Chains A and B, each alone.
Chain A
Amino acid sequence: MNVQQLVPLALPRGRPLSCELCGGPAQLRCGACRVTYYCDVDHQKADWVSIHEKICQLLIPIRTSFPFFNSEKERKHGMEQLLHRQKHLVDLTHKVAQKFVFEGKHKEAIPAALHSLRFSIDTCGPDSVELVPAYLILAEASTGLGHLTQAEEYLSQAQWIVLKTSDCSNGIQSKLHRNLGLLYAAKGNFEESLYHLATDIYFASCAFGTHDISTSGGYFHMANVFFRQNKMDIADSLYTEVTDIWHAHFSRLIRVQSQTLTTLSCMLSIHRKCFILNVDEAQQAEASQVLNAILDIKEQAPKQQPAKTANVVHALAMLHYLILDLPKASSTASLYSLDSVPLCRCITDAGWMLCSE
């Protein structure tokens, strides 16, 4: 983490350098890449932890001046390479920001998300629909930190872009309305929140189907709002729906996996491991967050419903199995069989999961 001091007066006139994070006058420079500037050490440290460590060297070819090429072909090739690098950066920063948000580390997510936004603007222009995901991540991180006006600003930008794009996909509209719903719920305006979450579910159903895991997120957030409004029966019905969707999804994955395992039983065990990773990180984080939250609510509910609670635990156990977290899977499964519900099918399933590995 090599940091170099800058003397602003020594810089050529007409080129004021601004901080990466806040835009204030720059006093420091990153020693490793020498193209990134900061106003003070705090911002430098924050950026390094969040994203700069991963993209330090990748920034150099983008931020230095375009090299001189001899022929038109080389110039074109150079331009394409630059664009390609920028797109790669957009993807990388977006993924990093999303991971932080799912883990709840909203503060670390913001620099990464800002970078994602800037690179998107560089590649696609200020009005493109590609900017919407970046704005949404920023909004989500800000909501998580409690900066609600900031979040609202980002969401307004996103909403304006979506309104201007006539053929915006249903998936993006669904995400936008989900974030709007979360924002209004954080503000306490439940009616607006419900309206936006309803719109989210509608778009998600159009894009993915009414019983898809992408739609289940909308149901979950809506259930939370009804829970806070104390409408327990509606919330309960929605939580059950979410659990059922995840349960069905995991059951299907396990079934497919066991089929591939039996057909490939003659192959080496090394190959077997390759097929097991079919829950990607984002889904895994979301499922874990959602199911644990539902389990907490069910356990603290005044009226216990053993069958439904058992369903949630079963889904969680399946998740842990799918991500190869076997100790956790077995512990959840054993917790489950301690429940006083004689659901034989689930118990035999859990036992099978423990034995098959």
Chain B
Amino acid sequence: MYGIGGTIKELKCWIHLIKDKDAIDHYLAMNIKGLSKQEAAAYRNSYKKNICIDMLRQGYHKSFSELFTLIQKWNALREAAGPGSAIWQQKSLEEQPDKLDQLHHFLTRAEAAQRAEYYEEVYNNQLNLAYCFNNTEDKWLRNYFYEQCFSTAQLIKIDGGKKEAEAHANMGLVNEEQGQFMKAAEHYETFHQLTLGRMWNDETGHTYNSLACEHLWRIYTLLADKMLENKEHQQAIKTLIKAFEMAKKGGDKKMEGEAAYCLGLAYHSAGEEQTAIIVSLLNGKVTEAIAYLEKFVTVAKSAQLSRSLVDACISLGDIYNERGNYYKACEYFNQAFEAANTLTDLPLVDETKVYYGIAKGHNMMVVVNSHTDAADHVSIEYLLAWKENRSDMCTDPFTNGNTVQAV
């Protein structure tokens, strides 16, 4: 009994040293190297839960809301797509720690900047997030952050609208990728307007304005292609004119040339379609087509777009041929022939030779006809002489003046 009493006394002394729970915790923390309660909980929780709790305890509740909503959105997208779709196999955001880390890093910094109303910093962080998710399976995430950048950029007034312009350009790219060309065009137009006259440059050294022109040219060409598919020639031509103007402003010769070529083709096809309908209108169109095609030829020569040059020259020659302007037709077919020679495309060369021959023939026909019509002694003798020696007409001094008049 005495022994037991003794031990109980000792225990009581020991217990008196550690009176309450805080002291016990402190004692444990100091002397026993283990996990604290929080560390134990962190070990048990999922990564997503740890990150969320971490964000919240530092006061970044908006970042938490955004992250939570994004994860829910992904789950909803996956549910909507159903099993068997591409997204079903992908790993959820919750299970990708590196992506969660990046979101944590940039979202918290963006929120801190937002509280201080330092909107440029917010924009930069959101843009960084957009760049992080620039891969095929996270496109929706990237587009989401581009949209966020866009709304933030509206609030930045200090830099004179540079970030706003950038945001418009990015939104245009997003819309273009998704196939919404009209919206993309609107954004690019705003981008162009905002950058007019400003000397902002991007990393490659190009001015924003030239970039704007390039984007606008591309989007107008795409729109016009769709219109052509729907047989809306009028609309297509108007859009292509806009594209051509943009290409000119952009200053890139290749762009300009391609724009001019598309325009010419559009006019040409429009012309073919409407031959049966109204001739005067058709003529009017053809004149414009000719004007553009001639411009294109000059541009193509300087840019050395041989194939397009050949095609353009052939088209021009065709038009002149139909209109009866055989001299010009000959000229253009000649040019086409020379260009085709450089391409070493034998069938093409032959084709151009044939066209040239046809034009030359027509050319001669005019003179022959005039002579046949005249039906006087001199002409008949001349005709006989020509038939005998098969030479070119132009060498005849007698009919030189007439030839010029006839043509």
Contacts and interface: CB of A to CB of B under 8 A. Distances in A.
A194 B56 CA distance: 8
Interface in B44-76: 49, 52-57, 59, 61-62, 64-65, 68-69
Interface in A171-195: 191, 194-195
Interface in B1-48: 20-21, 38
A308 to B, nearest CB: 14
A262 to B, nearest CB: 34
A146 B65 CA distance: 34
Q: What DSSP secondary structure best describes chain B's contact surface? A: helix
B21 A231 contact: no
Contacts of A231: 59
B65 A226 contact: no
Contacts of A211: 65
Query: Which secondary structure dominates where chain A touches chain B?
Result: helix
A198 B61 CA distance: 9
A169 interface: no
Given A195-B53, A205-B68, A233-B116, A238 B59 contact: yes
A198 B53 CA distance: 5
A238 B20 contact: no
A130 interface: no
A312 interface: no
Task: Give the size category of A's interface with B.
Answer: 20 to 34
Contacts of A116: none
A291 to B, nearest CB: 19
Nearest to A211: B65
Contacts of B20: 149
A89 B38 CA distance: 37
Contacts of A241: 61-62
B91 interface: no
Given A149-B21, A202-B49, A210-B68, A237 B56 contact: no
Contacts of B387: none
Contacts of B390: none
Contact of B38 (A149, A195, A210, A233): A195
Interface in A204-238: 205, 210-211, 219, 222, 226, 231, 233-234, 237-238
B115 interface: yes
Given A152-B21, A195-B57, A201 B64 contact: yes
A104 to B, nearest CB: 27
B52 A210 contact: no
Contact of A194 (B49, B57, B68): B57
A191 B62 CA distance: 20
B362 to A, nearest CB: 78
A231 B112 CA distance: 12
Contacts of A199: 53
Contacts of A201: 56, 61, 64
Contact of B115 (A149, A194, A233): A233
A244 to B, nearest CB: 11
B61 A202 contact: no
Given A195-B38, A210-B69, A237 B62 contact: yes
Contacts of B116: 233
A233 B112 CA distance: 9
Contacts of B64: 201-202, 205, 210
A126 to B, nearest CB: 22
Contacts of A195: 38, 53, 57
A168 to B, nearest CB: 14
A7 B20 CA distance: 39
Nearest to B56: A198
A202 B56 contact: yes
Given A149-B21, A152-B21, A237 B52 contact: no
Contacts of A152: 21
A198 B21 contact: no
B115 A237 contact: yes
Contact of B61 (A149, A233, A238): A238
B64 to A, nearest CB: 7
15 contacts: A149-B21, A152-B21, A191-B57, A194-B56, A194-B57, A201-B64, A202-B49, A202-B52, A205-B65, A210-B64, A210-B65, A222-B61, A233-B115, A238-B59, A241-B61
Interface of A: 149, 152, 191, 194-195, 197-199, 201-202, 205, 210-211, 219, 222, 226, 231, 233-234, 237-238, 241
Please name the 9 residue pairs, one residue from A and one from B, whose CB atoms are nearest each other, closest first.
A198-B56, A234-B59, A198-B57, A194-B57, A210-B65, A198-B53, A233-B115, A202-B52, A195-B57
Given A195-B57, A198-B55, A226-B59, 5 more contacts: A152-B21, A195-B38, A197-B56, A201-B64, A233-B116
